[in-house]
Amino acid sequence: MKFSSIAIDGPSGAGKSSLAKNLAKKLGFVYLDTGALYRAVGLYVCEKNIGGSETAKIEKCIDNAVNNIDKIDIELTYTDGTQKVFLNGHDISEKIRENHISKYASDVSKIPKVREFLLRTQRESADRNNVVMDGRDIGTVILPDADVKIFLTASLEKRAKRRYDELLEKGYKDLNYDKILKEITERDEQDSNRSAAPLKPAQDAVILDNSDCESPDGTLERALKIIKEKLPYVCIR
Ligand code: DC
């Protein structure tokens, strides 16, 4: 059986995960948040007291996992639209969203061995299900034959403001917009300029700039239009 796949790539804060989640619901597809996989590896490394720039030590962790000397088992579950992420059986859903883990995730994602380690999980998911996957290299590396590729982006300022509002809603205090803007700028640079699978639109991706969308619904509507053109037979709930 041939399954359909939708790749959503783009920079931090563009709203990829909201869009991918909403699309999966509308289409009845499985959602795979690939950023959560890198975040889980980032947390694993952090908890081993290894720095994000200690590449040799991080590679050793991966070798140990591959050779069954250690375990890095990552599991993503969904219940009623809520995602949970487990690392070696422990619920790490909250921890991986902390700010310092975002930086760790970006650091480990530069390492080809880490990317190779996570590649199989991602491809297997697409081999067995209709999927919506969001990340940085889904359309370029993981699923080069994806049926629909969307590169979701927005201005830096909009993305920083959305991140600010999201953290405010979560109850974070003493937020500083300029600091968030700086962090997002740095992550963009690191994700786009690394040699392993840098963030860039696939040649056949449709660019969707949602800077002018005030809510996720506007982005969803535009994405559905793109999908209907590429997959006219798909059933929308
Ligand atoms: O989407 P996110 O912010 O949760 O991703 C965390 C980090 O993981 C991000 O800085 C880049 C990296 N990442 C990646 O390199 N490739 C992916 N497919 C997904 C995420």
Q: Is the dihedral of CA 139, 187, 86, 166 positive or negative?
A: negative
The confidence band for 214, taking pLDDT boundaries of 50, 70 and 90, is: confident
Q: Residues 4, 234: contact at Cβ < 8 Å?
A: yes
The helix (run of H) or strand (run of E) holding residue 164 is helix 156-169
Q: What pLDDT is recorded for position 113?
A: 97
Q: 55-66 and 34-47 are packed helices; what angle lies between their axes, rounded to 10 degrees? A: 110
* Amino acid at residue number 107: D
User: For residue 122, how many other CB atoms are within 10 A of its CB?
Assistant: 21
- Choose among 36, 179, 168, 154: nearest CA to 102: 36
For the chain, list the strands marked E by DSSP: 5-9, 30-33, 74-79, 82-87, 90-91, 131-135, 148-153, 206-209
User: Do the beta carbons of residue 113 and residue 59 sit within 8 Å?
Assistant: yes
Residue 149 has pLDDT above 90, yes or no: yes
Nearest residue (by CA) to ligand 1, atom 16, is 136
Residue 161 backbone phi and psi in degrees, to 5: -65, -40
With left for phi above 0 and alpha for psi between -120 and 50, is residue 174 left, alpha or beta? left
Residue 157 binned pLDDT confidence (cut-offs 50, 70, 90): very high
In the chain, what percentage of residues exceed pLDDT 90?
76
- pLDDT for the residue 57: 98
In the structure, what pLDDT confidence band is assigned to residue 58 with cuts at 50, 70 and 90? very high
- Average pLDDT, integer, range 176-192: 91
Q: Decide whether any atom of ligand 1 lies within 6 Å of the 194 Cβ.
A: no
Task: Return the pLDDT at 50.
Answer: 98
Q: Relative to the CA of 122, which ligand 1 atom is closest? A: 18
Q: Give the pLDDT confidence of 76-119 residue by residue, as tens digits.
A: 888 777 889 999 999 999 999 988 998 999 999 999 999 999 99
* Ligand 1 atom 5 nearest Cα: 35
Region 117-146: mean pLDDT is: 94
Pocket test of ligand 1: the residue of 12, 37, 109, 131 to mutate, having most ligand atoms within 8 Å of its CB, is: 109
Three-state helix/strand/coil letters over 76-118: EEEECCEEEEEECCEECCCHHHCHHHHHHHHHHCCCHHHHHHH
